[in-house]
Every structure is written in C-alpha cells, then in structure tokens.
Structure 1
C-alpha cells in the first residue's frame, strides 16, 4: 500500500501568496501519511492576464518557485509532483508549462512540458494557451517505489494516445485548471476513462473556485482506481484529498480483465 494526496488550490496573481498556500496544504497532505503529493496546474500564479506568468518564468534549477518545491519535498520526505510552473522558453513572450518532480531528498528527478495546449471559444468564454505557451515534445514518466508514474497536464486528458505512450503505469498524475464549463461536462468522465483503459490509478490535482481574475475553475480533485471508481473527491475550494494505491487490487484488475495484453495496435 502507498498513500498519495492531491492538493486543490484557488491560486491568485500573487506568487508569494500561492507559495504560502502550497506550503500549508502540502504540509496537510504529508500529515495524512502521503508518500507522494501532487500540486495543481498554474499553482504558483493565476494572473490577471495570460501574459502575467511570463514575467515569473524561471530557468530550470533556480528561482523561488523551484526552491519552494524542493524544500517541501525534502522537509516532508515526500515525492512532490509540482503541478506546473512557468519555465523560460526559447520563444520571446512565451513560457513552457512544466511539471517538475522532486524525490524525498528534494532532488529534481523528472520533468514534463505540457504537450497539448488548450483552446476554447464559446460565447464570452475564450482561451488560447498557444498565445503564451510553447508546447512540449516528450512523454513524461518516472519510477517511484510503488511503480511507474505517468505525467500529464489538464488538456492532455483529451488525448488518450499520450497515456498509452507512457507505458504501463501504476499511477497517472493529472494537474489541471479545467474551466467550470468544460469540467462540468467532461472532467470526471475523461479521468475515469483514462483510469479504466490504462488500468491505472489516476490522481488529479485541480484548481477549484473563483479566481481574482474572474476565471472559475472546476475543482473536483480526485483519486480514481483502476476499475474506474472514484475513491476520493474535493468539489471546490482549497484542500487536500488522499487515498491508497493497492498493488494487489491493481494486479487483480489486470489479471481478471487483461485488456493491456489484448491490445493489437
């Protein structure tokens, strides 16, 4: 058995406020006995405009956001999957939306740059991440003591081929800032589908509430088991959800319904 936890936030435009919130909530998550804790997408900054994050972009390996994550992993002795933060990109005025993973010694051990960039236009609601983000190019995964962990971010959830490319994972992480509109329609069904088809636990850490910039995110951070059952959920607001990864249950699902072995393509 391994305990994992997801942190849900309602991030603000002020980085220092978000760092303080993350410290408090990661501490709460570690107090549950969690060996791995995941932060949400955009946890360090949810700006008044999309371009605000560019000013806070860090070089990999340095900066207050990364120092905070490394210190939290080391202080609590946890694997920390750091949601996403803005990293400097080769393109002027744009960033990489990056997940960094830290081991219990606070050492960065894995990186994933979000590949699929969200675009949505319906009435007065419009988003285009490609205006300020450069897409990543490589699949992300790492080995934890309880098995392989796949990395994805938010809009990636709609592209099942990415999850297949991760290999056979014990756990898949989905930090997100789903809009309330799309989340209400698709969030849970997509998360459960990814868990079922990959016969893997899925841990989703979300932004969840009304932000200072007027954006409303859907929340519903959750842990889903390989049979597709939701084991824990937090609908809105700041907080933590946690639950167990049961290796025996995981193996039993794959043995009784060996869909991964039945693949032809």
Structure 2
C-alpha cells in the first residue's frame, strides 16, 4: 500500500486552501498513492471571526473531497473540518474518509481538545468552540483497518491502545501541531505510538505561519511499527510518500508480541 501525506499551509482564504489541497491530492495520485492524508483543518486556519460556517457531513467540504477521491481514483482521508455540533456555540472537529468511488466510509470526531496555556507562547481553548467526540473509529481503508485520530489526541496513549485492540494496524494523525511543542514532542510521540501499538503511523501536518499568531511545526511523516521513520516531509508545502509493508507488521508482532502479551486493558 502506497501512502501520501499532504502538508499544507492553510490560511484564512478557504477557496485558496481547497485549491492547494486538491493540487496536492493530484500529485499524490500521480505518484501512485493508494491513500492520501490531509492535515487538520485543511480548509481554514485563521481568525475565529471569519471561520466558515459549520457544515453537515455531506455538505460542501465533503462533496469537494468526495469528488476529488472519485476523479483521482484514490482513498482520501480529508483532514478535518468544522462539522455542525451539538449546539449553536460549538462545532465538531471531524475527519471524513472517502474511498476510491468518493463514498464516505467513516468519520471521526476529535475526542481530546487542545486547552493549553503556556505563558507568553500559547493560549488556546479549543473546548470553547468545539465539542468532543465520544467514539473510537476504526475504518477499513483499502481492506486494512485504520484507527482514526486528530492532532492533540496524540498525547493520549489510551486512545491508540484502544484502536489497536479494536484491530487497527495503521494509525492516522492529521494535525496542526504547534511549533513550540512540535520541535520536541511531535516525532517522539509518533514513534512511541507506533512502537507501543505495533502499528504504522501516518501523520499529515500543517506547516508555517497561520493567523492569528500561530506557527505549525509540519514535518509530516510515516513511521513503521518498529518506530523507524520511513519518510518525513521537508519544511514546505508538498507531498511525501512511503510504502506500508503489512507483512513486516505481521513479522514484528510475531517476533516481539508485546501487544499480545499485555496484562492490562
């Protein structure tokens, strides 16, 4: 299975962001990808006052990427968007998954919300405008079980253990990871989630400056179940590829059966 992670610098121009995302998906398809992954909030990263109105699953955002998947003939894990939430004050941060025909086969609502105060660096309260999801989602992608997550979820190992126990062999992380934490934690956490769950990890990130005053780390990457980084994006918008060898995953799980040997759930 050939995978492409698409790294974006989404800003406050939704049409421009979607055009870049569509171009990257075309590059992924031209490069032979079976599956392409986009980052968190693919369509918009900008001031809250001009955030696009939330949409339903099946609305314009989903229609756009369903058409792209169908036209290009690839699976598209379409980052995330603002889905209509449980009340007028909050949306869901939702990742839709489309197969090669453009059919919506799964959707995941981000469970862990980024409520962080780092004096002089980061002040962000995602829970003020986003409602948490409640369900683990394992989606069949090209016949392989993928466990779905989004960005801040990465810091909660119990989520990924739950996905692995539910059968996931690939874990996906669309993200907009901040530069301040990303430079020290991003690769370490991705490799840890791969090693402890004996899964491939596929992480697509936002890169660069985003209004207001946010900078994302980027370094999108694909990690194998041994914790080896198979591919890492440079610090620019673009597409990065790697092959997933599922026989290697089976061999690692047989030779070092730590997942099977667990005593606590």
**TM-score, L = length of structure 1:** 0.95
Number of the residue aligned with 1:69: 65
- Pair 1:129 & 2:121 matched: no
Number of the residue aligned with 2:168: 169
Q: CA deviation at 1:32?
A: 1.2
Q: What secondary structure is seen at the aligned counterpart in 1 of 2:87? A: coil
Q: CA deviation at 1:145?
A: 2.8
Distance in structure 1 (CA, Å) of the matches to 2:142 and 2:18 = 27
Contact 1:40/1:177 (<8 A) preserved:
yes
Q: What secondary structure is seen at the aligned counterpart in 1 of 2:217? A: coil
Q: CA deviation at 1:130?
A: 0.5
Contact 2:148/2:173 (<8 A) preserved:
yes
Q: What secondary structure is seen at the aligned counterpart in 2 of 1:74? A: helix
Q: Deviations over 1:106-129 (max 9, x none)?
A: 010001000000011112221110
Distance in structure 2 (CA, Å) of the matches to 1:145 and 1:221 = 21
Contact 1:146/1:170 (<8 A) preserved:
no
Q: CA deviation at 1:164?
A: 1.4
Distance in structure 1 (CA, Å) of the matches to 2:249 and 2:57 = 35
Number of the residue aligned with 2:36: 37
CA RMSD of aligned residues (A): 1.1
Q: What secondary structure is seen at the aligned counterpart in 2 of 1:11? A: coil
Distance in structure 2 (CA, Å) of the matches to 1:219 and 1:18 = 16
Number of the residue aligned with 2:75: 79
Distance in structure 2 (CA, Å) of the matches to 1:28 and 1:47 = 26
Number of the residue aligned with 1:235: 234
- Segments of structure 2 that go 5 or more residues without pairing to the other structure are none
Match of 1:142 among 134, 139, 143: 139
Distance in structure 2 (CA, Å) of the matches to 1:27 and 1:102 = 15
Alignment of 1:145-156 (within 5 A): 145-156=142-153
Number of the residue aligned with 1:56: 53
Alignment of 1:1-265 (within 5 A): 2-49=1-48, 51-53=49-51, 55-63=52-60, 65-124=61-120, 125-166=122-163, 167-265=166-264
Contact 2:46/2:210 (<8 A) preserved:
no
**TM-score, L = length of structure 2:** 0.95
Distance in structure 2 (CA, Å) of the matches to 1:249 and 1:86 = 37
Q: What secondary structure is seen at the aligned counterpart in 1 of 2:215? A: coil
Contact 1:208/1:235 (<8 A) preserved:
no
Contact 2:6/2:239 (<8 A) preserved:
yes
Distance in structure 1 (CA, Å) of the matches to 2:50 and 2:226 = 40
Q: What secondary structure is seen at the aligned counterpart in 2 of 1:186? A: helix
Q: CA deviation at 1:146?
A: 4.5
Distance in structure 2 (CA, Å) of the matches to 1:196 and 1:97 = 27
